[in-house]
């Protein structure tokens, strides 16, 4: 397999991680691009990141930690949702945030996350627990679940309720989702992308976001349909089959950041 293919296979997931880490698609993509540009000018680095996903994330982490990317403009202090995201990110220790995202959203083991961060597995575990503690104080909210598999919908309902949130409704189709949201606007949406009648969860979410600003977490067996780079992408994307702790982490972070509306 060509080096470009080896690296390319992992890029959609690195972009997902970068967006969650930085709080926006623009910032995340800038750091991913800087990582690739560094590899183009350094044959040893290019060979390194082609070896494994861990090596690619390790190289990205060094670029991100250096803060050398200068193409992301400073955000104005205008109360915008992205500015709020960045302000809240700054309140969480970066190492805690990285450890949490790597072991939950990106599903690395503590050992592999430690390799990425230059830490032991035990140190990663401590950072993850500290990250959870920092974001555990979120106020309860109301959640709409858009999911056509009854058992998964029930599992998500139980998980959300255990976290102290209230499920306003569940929907298995685009039209049901819109009707439920109009009936009772939610503070968080969990959405699949392929629904019962063949309708699209992506289109349902896009319509919901026209009605009102709300954090959205996509939970899907088809993450590649959202990680194409062809449209503004969600900050939070959980792959099925999922671990409950992964969904919990995504919910906590989405509420902590206040909004995950796709941004250009």
What is 152-215 written as a DSSP string? HHHHHHHHHHHTT-EEEEEESSHHHHHHHHHHS--SEEEE-SB-TTS-BHHHHHHHHHHH----
Ordered by where they begin, the domains of the chain are 1-69 (1.10.1740.10), 142-245 (3.40.50.2300)
Looking at residues 6-20, what average pLDDT do you find? 89
Q: How confident is the model at residue 105 (pLDDT cuts 50, 70, 90)?
A: confident
- What pLDDT is stored for residue 192 in this prediction? 94
Among residues 104, 110, 107, the alpha carbon closest in space to that of 247 is found at 104
* pTM as predicted: 0.57
Mean per-residue pLDDT for 136-152?
85
pLDDT at 5: 82
Mean pLDDT across the chain, nearest whole number?
84
Assess whether pLDDT exceeds 60 at residue 261: no
What pLDDT was estimated at residue 130?
A: 85
- Is residue 72 very low, low, confident or very high in pLDDT (cuts 50, 70, 90)? low
**Which has more pLDDT, 196 or 122?**
122
Angstrom distance (rounded) from CA 55 to CA 51: 7
């Amino acid at each position: 397999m060509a080096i470009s293919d080896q690296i390319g296979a992992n890029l959609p997931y690195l972009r997902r991680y970068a967006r969650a880490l930085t709080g926006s698609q623009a910032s995340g993509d800038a750091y991913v691009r800087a990582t690739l540009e560094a590899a183009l000018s350094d044959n040893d680095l290019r060979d390194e990141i082609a070896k494994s996903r861990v090596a690619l994330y390790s190289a990205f982490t060094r670029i991100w930690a250096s803060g050398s990317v200068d193409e992301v403009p400073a955000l104005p202090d205008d109360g915008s949702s992205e500015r709020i995201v960045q302000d809240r990110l700054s309140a969480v220790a970066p190492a805690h945030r990285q450890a949490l995202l790597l072991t939950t959203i990106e599903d690395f083991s503590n050992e592999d996350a430690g390799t990425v961060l230059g830490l032991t597995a035990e140190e990663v575990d401590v950072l993850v627990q500290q990250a959870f503690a920092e974001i555990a104080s979120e106020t309860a909210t109301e959640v709409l679940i858009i999911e056509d598999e009854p058992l998964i919908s029930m599992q998500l309902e139980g998980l959300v309720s255990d976290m102290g949130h209230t499920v306003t409704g569940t929907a298995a189709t685009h039209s049901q989702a819109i009707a439920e949201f109009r009936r009772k606007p939610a503070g968080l949406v969990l959405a699949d992308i392929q629904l019962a009648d063949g309708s699209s969860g992506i289109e349902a979410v896009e319509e919901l976001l026209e009605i009102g600003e709300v954090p959205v977490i996509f939970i899907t067996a088809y993450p590649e349909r959202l990680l194409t780079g062809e449209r503004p992408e969600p900050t939070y994307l959980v792959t099925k089959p999922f671990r409950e702790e992964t969904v919990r982490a995504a919910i906590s972070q989405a509420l902590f950041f206040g909004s995950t509306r796709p941004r250009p």
